Amino acid sequence: MLSRYKTMNQTIAGALPPDAISLSEEKQAMLAAIVASSDDAIISKTTKGIITTWNPAAERMFGYIEAEAIGRSIMMIVPPDRQAEEVYIIGQILQGRKIEHFETLRTTKDGRQIPVSVTVSPILNKNGVIIGASKIARDISDRHLAREKQAILAAIVSSSDDIIISKTLQGIITSWNKAAEKIFAYTEAEAVGQHISLIIPPDRLSEEDFIIGQIANGRKVDHFETIRRGKNGQDVHLSVTVSPVVDEQGKIIGASKVARDISSARHAAENKGLLTAISNTSDDTIVSKTLEGIITSWNQAAEKMFGYSEEEALGQHISLIIPPERIEEETYIISEVSSGNKVDHFQTVRKAKDGRMVQISLSVSPILDDNGKIIGASKIARDISDHLRLQEEKAQLYDEIKALNDKKDEFIGMASHELKTPLTSIQAYLQILNNDMPEERRKDFLRRTGQQVKKLNQLVSDLLDISKIEAGKLQINPEPFDICTVVRDAIELITYTSPTHTVRFQTDLNDLLVLGDSQRIEQVILNLLTNAIRYAPSSKDIDVYLSEESGLVKVGVRDRGIGIPENKLTEIFSRFYRIAENKNTSGLGLGLYLARQIIERHHGRIWAESKPGEGSVFYFTLPIEIN
């Protein structure tokens, strides 16, 4: 291989001045060894662009071995959109001009484009005629990546709401972002080059000595609360975090300071939560990406939000966290950023590693390189799941309050009607009784008046019981009682007040003691019997069942009335609930609600079974055991 580079050296030697042509074999061998071992690609070509030499570094850089490259046009490594550069370079070489440190892109065998810095010199023969060019190419990918990272950092610093300042160890300000201009009112031109004491009140200069002392010893200063002074003399309360700045050799050469205005926290305690969120912006996800959507940075908040580590995310497409049905949003965002537009507070959904969907608010800004070219996007994402959930809860609460208000209005209307009806009847009966009439008819009107008084009393009692339940004061006085006797007494009472109906009692029990409030249980049975009469106007038969089952006493009341739709069988036990189909039947919708409350306070259960048109059966059970 060295012999090939010796040949190249001889060619080059022919291009050198006469006093340098007499290269010894030893020097030629040395030069060939240097070319072969160089980390830079060294290529020679004719004035027509035909490759004549190709060193190992060129093989490593471009992927073509020497046998593949020699004899081919140099255009094989020049991207189509940059071939005019090669024409320009050959033109310069033919005029005897050297081209130094020309930064461009070249294409590898596998199609990758790599940034390179090229230096090209003419090759002359022994007669001084230009016969080709010698090209040295250096891979500057690391330098290019560093520039991109610098651009990303500059975009974040520029758009940050936090003050970001850098200074030397002597306290001389070296950078000053827009937030610093806004807070302190000094422009960048006014601040850079000044001592940091420009913004430090005289009575706090000792703090700077402490901070610089910590930084010089490699220590970070976190969340240091202090006061700084603006151009207008106004003091600003700040939380300051200061970190050492080190050079490539790891030597500390300065300090980077991030300061957050916390003035408002001292004036409004009610804004504490908001100020805490503002002072902890590091809790927001910050991600940067190329215009092709490739993730280039991923902070700890992103790891926490989405579950992917930095190593897992970097180099992946941003679709890693985008649900498939929302991928078009990314196309829209990239198009806006590519046009130089910022996307503010864009609410969307992203997908975490564990499959969770995260509701977020996005702000996306363009990232510019040194030439002002848009090369990517900086994205700040905030989890708004709690905010959206609170909105949903508020909306639901509003609907519930509205529904309750509607029920209240309906109840007031029903209560007015139900209370007024017996009062009107009583008034009419009393007026009739004031007239002369046979004794038998007078007794009939007195009986009717008594019934209306009883109805009115029951309505008032139900309302009082509701109030007691709401206040937690509904009295249950448990003591042993015979359930058989209570059921028979209730049947006897309802038969007396409703003689037109027949109530059949079916049981195998003579007596059975249970522990409970006998008056409240009788109230439940009477309510069920009253409903059986009220909602079965065309039927005169009612069945009552009493049995013992697995340590429970079970009571049932069957009517043969209009029945209840299956989807209403649970709702009928709600307060003020009345089935729409039965609006013409009097009642406040309180009886079954009270019955359920009484039975549940006895550790029992109440339910209904029904088919529309076939009647209903209401059951309740109570524990039998008496301790």
CA-based end-to-end distance of the chain = 107
CB 273 within 8 A of CB 257: no
pLDDT value for 602:
92
CA–CA dist 206, 221 (Å, integer): 15
pLDDT digits (tens, 9 = 90+) for 552-568: 999 999 999 888 888 88
What is the domain partition of the chain in residue ranges? 2-139, 145-279, 285-383, 390-468, 475-623
In what order do the strands lie in the sheet containing 285-290?
295-298, 285-290, 374-383, 357-368, 343-351
Q: How buried is 38 (Cβ within 10 angstroms: 0-12 exposed, 13-18 middle, 19+ buried)?
A: middle
CB 404 within 8 A of CB 360: no
Reported as type and span, the H/E element at residue 37 is helix 25-37
Is a pLDDT exceeding 50 seen at residue 46?
yes
pLDDT value for 68:
94
Average pLDDT over residues 101-122: 93
Three-state DSSP string of 429-492: HHHHHCCCCCHHHHHHHHHHHHHHHHHHHHHHHHHHHHHHHHHCCCCCCCEEEEHHHHHHHHHH
Which option is the CATH number for 145-279: 3.30.450.20, 3.40.47.10, 3.50.50.60, 3.40.1110.10? 3.30.450.20
| Predicted TM-score (pTM) above 0.75 | no
More confident of the two residues 414 and 287:
287
Is a pLDDT exceeding 70 seen at residue 4?
no
Residue with the two structure tokens 């009583």:
426
More confident of the two residues 19 and 601:
601
Q: Name 252's bridge partners.
A: 246
pLDDT value for 279:
31
Q: How confident is the model at residue 416 (pLDDT cuts 50, 70, 90)?
A: very low
CA–CA dist 518, 483 (Å, integer): 8
pLDDT digits (tens, 9 = 90+) for 169-210: 999 999 999 989 998 999 999 999 999 999 999 999 999 889
> Looking at this protein, which amino acid is placed at residue 145?
L
More confident of the two residues 243 and 588:
243
Average pLDDT over residues 77-103: 92
Which option is the CATH number for 475-623: 3.30.200.20, 3.30.565.10, 3.50.50.60, 3.40.50.2020? 3.30.565.10
Is the four-CA dihedral 492, 604, 564, 610 of positive or negative sign? negative
What the block records as the tokens of 186 is: 């000094």
CA–CA dist 169, 166 (Å, integer): 10
Local structure of residue 565 (DSSP, 8 states): -
pLDDT value for 448:
65
Architecture (CATH level 2) of domain 2-139? 2-Layer Sandwich (3.30)
Residue with the two structure tokens 């000595």:
209
Q: How confident is the model at residue 11 (pLDDT cuts 50, 70, 90)?
A: very low
Is a pLDDT exceeding 90 seen at residue 481?
yes
More confident of the two residues 150 and 328:
328
pLDDT digits (tens, 9 = 90+) for 141-162: 887 777 777 777 777 777 788 8
Average pLDDT over residues 421-428: 56
Is a pLDDT exceeding 60 seen at residue 101?
yes
CATH match of 390-468 with 1.10.287.130: yes
Domains 2-139 and 390-468 share a fold: no
pLDDT digits (tens, 9 = 90+) for 350-400: 999 999 999 998 989 999 987 889 999 988 888 888 877 887 788 787 777
CATH match of 285-383 with 3.30.450.40: no
Which residue from 141, 140, 8, 130 is spatially nearest to 66, judged by alpha carbons? 8
pLDDT digits (tens, 9 = 90+) for 600-609: 989 999 999 9
CB 380 within 8 A of CB 363: yes
CA–CA dist 134, 62 (Å, integer): 17
Q: Give residues with Cβ within 8 angstroms of 177, minimum separation 6.
A: 157, 158, 160, 163, 164, 165
pLDDT value for 276:
34
Average pLDDT over residues 417-446: 62
